[in-house]
Amino acid sequence: MQIYHTKGTCSRQIFFDVTKDNKVTDVKFIGGCSGNLQALSKLVDGMDIDWVIGKLKGIKCRSNTSCSDQLATALQLYKEKNNL
């Protein structure tokens, strides 16, 4: 399980996993808009990491970012850390 501490959003943390074949799973946000973030988590479950990053990166809400954008950032950092 990966943990990312968000910046500039109502959610404070994002938990997630990435499978061996680069699929995003088990996304859970701590804080934020519960219903919207539960829906986002279900929508990206099982999706390719690059697809999720491509779709969510740059979505703005507050502070020039959003929970979706922060998930994309967390996944991008995961990729960089793991040389994917």
- Reported as a pLDDT band with limits 50, 70 and 90, residue 84 is confident
pLDDT reading at 1 higher than 90: yes
- What is this structure's pTM? 0.95
Number of neighbouring beta carbons within 10 Å of residue 37 = 22
Instruction: Give pLDDT tens digits for 7-56.
Output: 999 999 999 999 999 999 999 999 999 999 999 999 999 999 999 999 99
